[in-house]
Amino acid sequence: MSLQFDPRTGKITYRGKEVGEHIFKDGRSTVRLDIEYEGGDDWIVPLSWFAHGLSMLPENKPAPALLTVKTSEDSIAEEFDVVRYLTEKQVKRGNYIWIFHKTDADNWPSLLHGHDYDKGLKLDAITGNIYDVGTRERCKTLKAKDLQDVQAELRASKDFKEAVATLIDKTTTATEPA
Q: Which of 17, 33, 60 finishes a domain?
A: 60
Q: What is the pLDDT along the chain (178 residues), one digit of tens a residue?
A: 577 888 899 998 877 888 889 998 898 888 888 877 666 666 655 666 676 677 777 777 777 788 889 999 899 999 887 765 543 333 334 588 888 887 777 889 999 998 888 888 999 999 999 998 888 899 999 999 999 999 999 998 888 899 999 999 986 544 445 4
Give pLDDT, residue 130.
Answer: 95
Looking at the domain assignment, is residue 147 inside a domain?
yes
45 and 77, same domain (yes or no):
no
User: What is the phi-psi region of residue 10: left when phi exceeds 0, alpha when psi lies from -120 to 50, beta otherwise?
Assistant: left
51 and 83, same domain (yes or no):
no
Q: Which domain holds residue 23?
A: 4-60
144 and 126, same domain (yes or no):
yes
For the chain, the domain total comes to: 2
Looking at the domain assignment, is residue 173 inside a domain?
no
Looking at the domain assignment, is residue 114 inside a domain?
yes
Give pLDDT, residue 99.
Answer: 86
32 and 95, same domain (yes or no):
no
Q: What is the DSSP string of the chain?
A: ---EEETTTTEEEETTEEEEEEEEETTEEEEEE------GGGTHHHHHHHHHHHHTSGGGSPPPPSEEEEEEGGGEEEE-------SS-----SEEEEEE-TT-S---S-SSEEEETTTTEEEETTT-EEEETTT--EEEEE-HHHHHHHHHHHHHSTTTHHHHHHHTS----PPPP-
Looking at the domain assignment, is residue 137 inside a domain?
yes
56 and 71, same domain (yes or no):
no
Q: Which of 24, 40, 60 finishes a domain?
A: 60
36 and 97, same domain (yes or no):
no
46 and 84, same domain (yes or no):
no
